[in-house]
Chain A
Amino acid sequence: NAGVTQTPKFRILKIGQSMTLQCTQDMNHNYMYWYRQDPGMGLKLIYYSVGAGITDKGEVPNGYNVSRSTTEDFPLRLELAAPSQTSVYFCASGGRERWNEQFFGPGTRLTVL
């Protein structure tokens, strides 16, 4: 099993550009999450999904969009990149049981200039 994979690993965007961060998991998990991690800070939840076709906002959703058309994939879309979106982005997945932990991808380091 590959677990949770994210692409790309690094990206530099110009202000106003758009991009999609890809996330795929092969563990048949219902729950998937997108976080951002700013320097010296913890993880802030952007969006999450409890199953295909169902998504919901987390703590910091502004400037982002998601979709969940399959169990495996949960892409994160940045429409108009801003310097405030410079961060490391993590995708995670997990089972629905309360004791299930989250499995994380390796992260994407995004810089907006």
Chain B
Amino acid sequence: AQTVTQSQPEMSVQEAETVTLSCTYDTSESDYYLFWYKQPPSRQMILVIRQEAYKQQNATENRFSVNFQKAAKSFSLKISDSQLGDAAMYFCAYRSPNTGNQFYFGTGTSLTVIP
């Protein structure tokens, strides 16, 4: 099974600053998708951004962007101009096309935004 590792259990950032959350994964597959999900205190999981492994261009969604390094199996999330509403748990996820299209999640990074 694929493994997804988020090595930063907790991170903090000043409002309006930039923060980068790390994610690495282990796989022998070549074609897959990666996702970042946000889980605010309400517990509702919300998709932040997705990246296809075959695309070299890094995905961007407004203030959220990724740094995808396929060879290094790294998929970090950059949040620019951090806002108070960005405070949440962030989960990195890997979607396998082979093992029943299962999603594999990391253990999450808790992000605090300091006013």
Contact = CB atoms under 8 A, between A and B. Distances in A.
Contacts of B101: 31, 50, 94, 96, 98
A42 interface: yes
Contact of B44 (A40, A48, A104): A104
Contact of B50 (A59, A88, A96, A99): A99
A90 B42 CA distance: 13
A37 to B, nearest CB: 8
A18 B45 CA distance: 27
Interface in B29-84: 31-33, 35, 42-45, 47, 50, 52
Nearest to B45: A104
Interface in A34-79: 35, 40-43, 45, 48, 50, 56, 58-59
Given A33-B103, A58-B102, A98 B44 contact: no
A86 to B, nearest CB: 15
Contacts of B47: 101-102
Interface residues of A, number: 25
B108 A101 contact: no
Q: Is the interface of A mostly helix, strand, loop or mixed?
A: strand
A107 B44 CA distance: 7
A45 B102 contact: yes
Interface string B78-105: 0000000000000100010100111101
A48 B42 CA distance: 24
Residue in A33, A43, A88, A96 whose Cβ sees the most chain B Cβ within 10 Å:
A43
A86 B76 CA distance: 31
Interface of B: 1, 4, 6, 9, 31-33, 35, 42-45, 47, 50, 52, 91, 95, 97, 100-103, 105-108
Interface of A: 31, 33, 35, 40-43, 45, 48, 50, 56, 58-59, 88, 90, 92, 94, 96, 98-99, 101-102, 104, 106-107
